[in-house]
A = this chain, B = another copy of it.
Amino acid sequence: MNPTNFHFNPKDASLRERAFKVVPSGMTGHLDASVLPQGYPQYFERGQGCHLWDVDGRKFIDLMCSWGPNLLGYRHPTIEQAVQRQQAIGDCLNGPTPRFVELAEQFVERSAHADWVMFQKNGTDATTVCVTIARAATGKRKILVATSAYHGADPWCTPRPAGVTAEDRAHLIYYTFNDLQSLQQAVDQAGSDLAGIMVSGFKHDMAQKLEMPTQAFANSVREHSSKAGAALILDEVRTGYRLHKGGSWEPLGIRPDLCAWSKAIANGYALSAVTGVDSLRDAATHIFTTGSFWAGGVAMAAAIATLEVTDQIDLVKHLELIGNHFRQGIEKQAAGHGFKVNQSGPVQMPLILFEDDKDFSKGLKFCAHALSNGAYLHPKHNMFLCLAHTMDDIDLVLQATDKAFQALSQSSLR
């Protein structure tokens, strides 16, 4: 019944078999395809624009954008040219290249709250640095985080408890996103020991309906932070550049004290960043955090080029345009085929959940059928749109989803 069963993708199957011998379970982390619907490839050969090719030569219009990093299109010529220019002279040296200063200046200029910036490699590096700076600045320990929010994969924040000790999270206090009362309770619990309140750009917990922050919640987070002299830490790793150029809470008029960035900022090259306000500059100086490759010039050249491209266009407007087109198309198709779907989150980072689908069987089948018709969707995680997606590409995706709805309507999952 499923034409994309991976047994029909011999190269992918062969690589999985080989990997199983030399990598625990064959693949670990968020890119593990064994949790995806049948037919999804684990291994990819290449990417260009909004297209991906798997190792068996199947071509997809990609709505995951490498889980965020692909902001402008795979192998965007401006980025690749900047990368090649830098690579031809030097990347990882005994100190940074001039790109470090150029990027820092441009980054601070464009990030609405930022007076300074530090660079790392992983999103987890950035969130961990934020927590450390907040503690160093305040001399306090408690960090408030939303229940189920993803802030990285270090022991203090990884979503799976194996290997984590109670002490790794001794100073975390949990609140419910958008729930003022639970936030107040968490603040009360922290008492005089509150170092920071961490928030995501919006609530984007795996396999749950996405939620934009309410104005009242954003205001309250800001007020509690300011009142306690604690840092408002915005985790912009997933949301950065896609919602608002200066920071995803700019439309709410709320600015963080510290902000963690990664994923999209260098269009796929490994880079993360922490921006902060002047009052936290000293603390940022006093902590010690570093990495062998953090000053590498190539990723910074890519990040500068990413800013250049996004300066020349209204990226958010484009993403909203195609995102609305996609959302309306799905809405119409679902209704036409008699399905109730819940679409949530900002249109440029869409999530489609079927109602009455607790085991995700509908969502999984729907995505498997869409994949076999050339569209790479995700059944549980928010997706990502990019500059390379055209209205025509979205129309092609909608042709694939229409066939997927149709197949689903003819199956036992109707």
Q: Which residues of A contact B (CB under 8 A)?
A: 15, 18-19, 21-25, 27-31, 33, 41-48, 52, 55, 62, 64, 66-70, 74-75, 80, 83, 87-98, 100-101, 104-105, 107-108, 115-118, 121-125, 128, 131-136, 141, 153-156, 158-160, 162-165, 167-168, 170-171, 237, 262-263, 268-270, 281-296, 299, 376
Contacts and interface: CB of A to CB of B under 8 A. Distances in A.
B153 A31 contact: no
A292 B269 contact: no
A154 B153 contact: no
A28 B282 CA distance: 12
Given A74-B90, A98-B45, A122-B125, A29 B288 contact: yes
B292 A24 contact: no
A104 B288 contact: no
B293 A104 contact: no
Contact of A292 (B25, B80, B123): B123
Nearest to A28: B118
Contacts of A91: 268-269
Given A104-B23, A108-B22, A292 B67 contact: yes
A236 B285 CA distance: 28
Contacts of A115: 22
The secondary-structure label for the interface of chain A is loop
B153 A93 contact: no
A45 B23 CA distance: 38
A66 to B, nearest CB: 5
Contact of A160 (B27, B263, B288): B288
Contacts of A31: 94-96, 290, 294-295
A94 B162 contact: no
Nearest to A75: B90
Stoichiometry, as copies per complex, reads 2
A130 to B, nearest CB: 10
Contacts of A237: 292
14 contacts: A19-B101, A19-B104, A22-B115, A24-B282, A29-B288, A31-B94, A43-B95, A66-B93, A83-B87, A121-B293, A123-B291, A136-B162, A159-B288, A160-B286
Contacts of A21: 105
B170 A287 contact: no
Given A28-B284, A47-B89, 16 more contacts: A19-B104, A21-B105, A44-B95, A46-B89, A64-B94, A69-B292, A80-B87, A92-B269, A122-B125, A122-B291, A128-B155, A134-B163, A135-B165, A136-B162, A158-B289, A162-B283
Contact of A167 (B15, B121, B171): B171
Contact of A90 (B44, B104, B296): B44
A165 B171 contact: yes
A198 B5 CA distance: 44
A67 B94 contact: yes
Contacts of A44: 90, 93-97
Contacts of A141: 165
Contacts of A108: 22
A276 to B, nearest CB: 8
Contacts of A133: 163
A23 B118 contact: yes
Contacts of A80: 87
Contact of A95 (B42, B131, B159): B42
A9 to B, nearest CB: 12
Contact of A117 (B22, B83, B88, B159): B22
